[in-house]
């Protein structure tokens, strides 16, 4: 007996596409302007929303602060490591 797998691709909702674009734009902003924040806040989480940076001890709080100030935006949240050493992942 062979079961068939049917995959259906539906167009994304316009609201989802807009939210994803705002999230991506906030991430790109952090990539371009984040160096001073990375040096200033090691061990913290930063959220970027509409070009404004919010810093907190955990990701949920950083996102909450950004969403409170810019409720229509989709914040990008990133952890800033305490040190800039190379990381080795092994199994």
The region of weakest confidence among 6-20, 23-37, 48-62 is 6-20
* CB hemisphere CA count around 11 (13 angstroms): 3
**Would you state the pLDDT for residue 54?**
98
Q: Report phi then psi at 14, rounded to 5.
A: -55, -40
For 14-35, how does the pLDDT look when each residue is reduced to its tens digit (9 = 90+)?
A: 898 999 999 999 999 999 999 9
pLDDT surpasses 90 at 12 = no
DSSP letter assigned to residue 1: -
Averaged pLDDT, 38-48? 94
d(CA 56, CA 45): 5
Is 83:63 a contact under the CB 8 Å cutoff? no
Span 77-89, pLDDT tens digits: 999 998 766 667 7
Is there a contact between 44 and 34 (Cβ–Cβ < 8 Å)? no
* Structure token digits, residue 21: 């674009």
Distance CA 63, CA 66 (A): 5
Q: Check pLDDT > 70 for residue 1.
A: no
Full-model pTM: 0.77
């Amino acid at each position: 007996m062979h079961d068939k797998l049917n995959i259906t691709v539906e167009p994304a909702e316009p609201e989802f596409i807009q939210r994803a674009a705002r999230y991506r734009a906030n991430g790109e902003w952090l990539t371009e302007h984040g160096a001073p924040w990375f040096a200033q806040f090691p061990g913290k989480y930063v959220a970027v929303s509409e070009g404004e940076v919010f810093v907190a001890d955990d990701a949920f709080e950083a996102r909450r602060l950004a969403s409170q100030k810019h409720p229509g935006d989709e914040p990008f949240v990133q952890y800033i490591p305490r040190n800039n050493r190379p990381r080795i992942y092994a199994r």
